Amino acid sequence: MTEPTASAPARALASAIVDTLVHRIGKDAQAARPHDWLAATIFTLRNEIIERWMESTKRAHAAGAKRVYYLSLEFLIGRLLRDALSNLRHNDEVAEALATLGVDLAEIEEIEPDAALGNGGLGRLAACFMESLASLDLPAYGYGIRYVNGMFRQRLDDGWQVELPENWLAHGNPWEFERRESAYFVGFGGEVTATADGRSHWSPAEAVEAVAYDTPMVGWRGKRVNTLRLWNARAFDPIKLDQFNAGDFEGALAGQTRAETLTRVLYPNDSTAAGQELRLRQEYFFSSASIQDIVRRHIQYFGDIRTLPDKAAIQLNDTHPAVSVAELMRLLTDFHELSFDAAWDVTRATFGYTNHTLLPEALESWPLPLFERLLPRHMQIVYAINAKLLREAAKVEGIDGRAIAAISLIDEGGERRVRMANLAFAGSHSVNGVAALHTELMKKTVFADLHHLYPDRINNKTNGITPRRWLQQCNPGLTNLLSEAIGEDFRDDAAKLTALAPFADDAAFRERFAAVKRANKVALADYLKDAMGLRLNPDAIFDVQIKRIHEYKRQLLGLVETVALYDQIRSHPERDWTPRVKLFAGKAASSYHNAKLIIKLAGDIAKRINADPAVGDLLKVAFVPNYNVSLAERIIPAADLSEQISTAGMEASGTGNMKFALNGALTIGTLDGANIEIKDHVGDANIFIFGLTVDEVAEKRGSGYRGTDAIDRSAELAQAVNAIASGVFSPDDPARYRGLMDGIRDHDWFMLAADFDAYAAAQRAVDARWGMSDAWGRSAVLNVANMGWFSSDRTIGEYARQIWGVM
């Protein structure tokens, strides 16, 4: 069957894949369907990965190395085949082997489901970090939940978001290894009694078993393979036979159903607290299993639990795993016989905590009665930690009653609640923000009093992205051009991209650079034509805003400006307008009314504008459904302009902003999150910054500002807001957007009206720069050249040296 022209390694590989297909999948080449080829390819590739995986584990063990444990309720890893192939440098060989079998690698890569075990930025950051940890050869484990249903699939019904379950495990998951032997008891409820020797004994009323599923995380060039360990919940007693035999079939299976519910779905909320009991159960379930696993491994390898901080660094990805602090304290005091103070020293030296948002609605706290009912022993421990914490605080000058109340792990204002951020802060030796501005704001706002108490604890670790997925894999055209220009070094060290800077002044290079971008735009246009019947002009500016839909991210600002531009084009057809394609994509939390309305508005605006012959190719608008990692990988290489327009002070960092700039898009953005650091790196001349600063936003909010003040001063804005409010874009329901527009007029908490004129002016500056294609090209090249610093390798290096002590 294999063609004689294929190389010997490709022929050997092809026969290995067929062998796997037959013996593992149970099909022959004639009967195999695309999913079978996909599985056979992954299983074959896996053999090499397993060997490297075992070698990595042995090496860490032999060295007695300290391990990093990244605890996260979300890992938005996306597809893994291309990632693994590319990191192992096996792309060409596997493509050739499959071709000899009549199978197109690109086609089977496309049917791999996105592992979407996360919502947005925080989850994707965790995935980039896992890749960088392996690439930097650091022994590390990611710990999370194996959700059966990850992030929902978004469908648009008449423009309205509908959430459908995403069944990523439907065809099985060839990447994962079930580890039945790594199973832990996780209890809930019940009561705590004192033992004869003065210790505490917790008898849970209910228990489930946490079973590990391991996925290998392959680092660049396969140097190291680490483990992503995801927990699945199982009932100890999957079926109660006596009940079943007595005819109560549902009752007999109720325990299993209840256990499975724990790991069934990802909470689809982004930057909002989910106040449900199930969420707290999920958090404790995965925290407990992970901490038990870490402690077990430590004892097995090193014997003495008191040396835990020398051999384990546990990073809490936001507060979702914060109950781990109390769980480790419980294991140390109740099972390993450490005194409370000794346990507290071990705990604090082991944990680090990363904060990802300052939005007050996202700061997790649990009603005290719920916490106490579900986790009675942990409640006692939280009280004991609190007593110690407040005793320490009382000794510090400048800490008064108000500050004590703010530092306390218990919120006593109104219904008493357990504050998870305070627990994570108190239980960690390091607390970090994710961009310079965000870290400074942490010190001044939510953590001001804790920062006063522990002034050395807060530090900054500006986020990063893995350049393997977000440059090499998603943009092979640009990657090849870069290696022709500056050699291969940048593949191993993104900082070496600075060698590209001189090419910004090389007209011939800029032309090739522009040709790559154009080819990426053509590919995206083709895809969107197939997917949504859209026809896009690849010579227009591809202006893109893709991210979770949230009012603070201000997709609405982009839409209002689109409407204003539409009006301008219609009113002044004689002007030399720059053709634009405005692309939006993103999911809204299912209960977030305004976010869903914004999606509908995007569709309504698109419908009207795209059908208007008066604008023709000058303006096209689209809301692309079901944004996910794979869609981002398609869109980002094709973008000219990256929209990063959050209200200053509200976007902790952003990481999409980094992906776009690394792929040669120019940013239009506010002085928010990592935009500020991107500006510092790419240079003021190569980014379009506009809008109020954090201080100006605070000043306006404090001075009784209302949106109408700004609307009255801006004819363009007034026209756009009035058009939307009066139903120009929703003739079927003219009142649809009245409330949304009233929100801008009456409150404008997100400063949309206040920033509108500056934003519109920045957009016209974008047009002008686009008209000077040399200048645009120069800026685009300089963006790529200066974005190496935003590699997650740099970020992880900082964590490793400054927080974990592993480098």
Q: What residues make contact with ligand 8GP under the rule CB under 6 A?
A: 119-122, 125, 270-271, 318, 356-357, 362, 434, 463, 651-655, 673
Quote the least distance from Cβ 339 to ligand 8GP, whole Å.
Answer: 36
Q: How many CB atoms lie within 10 A of CB 185?
A: 13
Nearest CB to ligand 8GP, comparing residues 182 and 647: 647
Q: Are 784 and 664 in contact (CB under 8 A)?
A: yes
- Smallest distance from the beta carbon of 791 to ligand 8GP, in angstroms? 15
Of 20, 43, 90, the closest CA to residue 29 belongs to 20
Sign of torsion over alpha carbons 363, 369, 373, 376: positive
> Any catalytic annotation for residue 548?
yes
The CA-based angle 217-140-800, given to 5 degrees, is: 120
Alpha helices (H) along 493-617:
507-532, 555-571, 593-610
- In terms of CB distance, is 71 or 208 closer to ligand 8GP? 71
Parallel, antiparallel, or unpaired for β 206-218 and 177-188? antiparallel
Cα four-point dihedral sign 522, 524, 529, 530: positive
Give the nearer residue to ligand 8GP in terms of CB position, either 273 or 379: 273
Q: Between 292 and 463, name the residue whose CB sits nearer to ligand 8GP.
A: 463
Minimum CB separation of residue 711 from ligand 8GP in Å reads 28
CB of 72 to ligand 8GP, least distance (A): 10
Residue of 528, 470, 323, 308 lying closest to 409 (CA atoms): 323
* 553 is a catalytic site residue: yes
Among this protein's residues, is 356 annotated catalytic?
A: yes
- 153 vs 461 by CB, closer to ligand 8GP: 461
Whole-number Å distance between alpha carbons of 799 and 476: 30
416: nearest Cα among 383, 441, 446: 383
Residue 250 CB neighbour total at 10 angstroms: 9
Q: Is 215 a catalytic residue?
A: no
Neighbours of 53 (CB within 10 A): 22
| DSSP three-state, residue 344 | helix
Locus of tokens 């079973």? 211
Q: What is the closest distance, in whole angstroms, from the C-beta atom of residue 659 to ligand 8GP in the complex? A: 11
Kindly tell me which of 386 and 663 has the beta carbon lying closer to ligand 8GP: 663
Angstrom distance (rounded) from CA 238 to CA 472? 46
Task: Provide the minimum distance between the beta carbon of 495 and ligand 8GP in the complex, in angstroms, as a whole number.
Answer: 21
Q: What are φ and ψ of residue 167, in 5° steps?
A: -105, 80
Angle at which helices 507-532 and 773-786 cross, to 10°: 90
In the complex with ligand 8GP, the residue whose CB is nearer, 222 or 649, is 649
Measured from the CB atom, the residue of 100 and 357 that comes closer to ligand 8GP is: 357
- Catalytic, out of 52, 378, 457, 547: 547
- Smallest gap, in angstroms, from Cβ of residue 272 to ligand 8GP? 6
Whether 298 is catalytic: no
The least distance separating ligand 8GP from the CB of residue 139, rounded to whole angstroms, comes to 23
Which is closer to ligand 8GP, CB of 83 or CB of 318? 318
CB 217 within 8 A of CB 131: yes
Closest CA relative to residue 25, chosen from 177, 208, 176, 171: 171
Nearer to ligand 8GP, 256 or 655 (CB): 655
Which of the following is catalytic: 553, 580, 600, 681? 553
CB of 225 to ligand 8GP, least distance (A): 25
Backbone torsions φ then ψ of 619, nearest 5 degrees:
-150, 125
Is 547 among the catalytic positions?
yes
Helix axes 91-100, 34-62, angle to 10 degrees: 150
Q: Read off the tokens for 276.
A: 């449900």
Segment (H or E) for 667: strand 666-669
CB 467 within 8 A of CB 439: no
Cα-Cα-Cα-Cα torsion 429, 385, 375, 313, nearest 10 degrees, comes to 20
CB of 126 to ligand 8GP, least distance (A): 9
Residue tagged active-site, from 67, 320, 356, 745:
356
222 versus 464: smaller Cβ distance to ligand 8GP: 464
**Shorter beta-carbon distance to ligand 8GP: residue 467 or 673:** 673
Other beta carbons less than 10 A from residue 9's beta carbon = 12
Question: Of the candidates 411, 399, 390, which has an alpha carbon nearest to the alpha carbon of residue 452?
Answer: 399
- Paired with 619 in beta bridges are 580
Distance CA 648, CA 642 (A): 17
- For residue 232, the minimal CB distance to ligand 8GP (Å) is 21
Query: How many Cβ atoms are within 10 Å of 772's Cβ, its own excluded?
Result: 11
**Selection from 348, 315, 289, 312 nearest residue 125 by Cα:** 315
Picking from 501, 536, 539, 498, the residue whose alpha carbon sits closest to that of residue 517 is 539
Find the catalytic residue in 554, 659, 769, 778: 659
Rounded Cα gap, residues 460 and 359, in angstroms: 18
- Output the six-digit token pair for 399: 């800490």
Q: What DSSP state is assigned to residue 506?
A: -
Catalytic pick from 336, 491, 548, 769? 548
Alpha carbon distance 164, 622 (integer Å): 21
Q: Is 142 in contact with 316 (CB distance < 8 Å)?
A: no
CB of 436 to ligand 8GP, least distance (A): 13
Choose the catalytic residue: 655, 667, 670, 795: 655
User: Smallest distance, Å, CB 160 to ligand 8GP?
Assistant: 24
Name, in order, each residue with C-beta under 8 angstroms of 183's C-beta and a sequence gap of 6 or more: 209, 210, 211, 212, 234
Residue nearest to ligand 8GP (CB): 121
Q: How far apart are CA 38 and CA 525, in angstroms?
A: 27
- Which C-beta is closer to ligand 8GP: that of 39 or that of 652? 652
Question: How many other C-beta atoms lie within 10 A of the C-beta of residue 272?
Answer: 17
In the chain, DSSP finds a helix count (H) and a strand count (E) of: 34, 24
Q: Which residues are catalytic?
A: 356, 547-548, 553, 655, 659
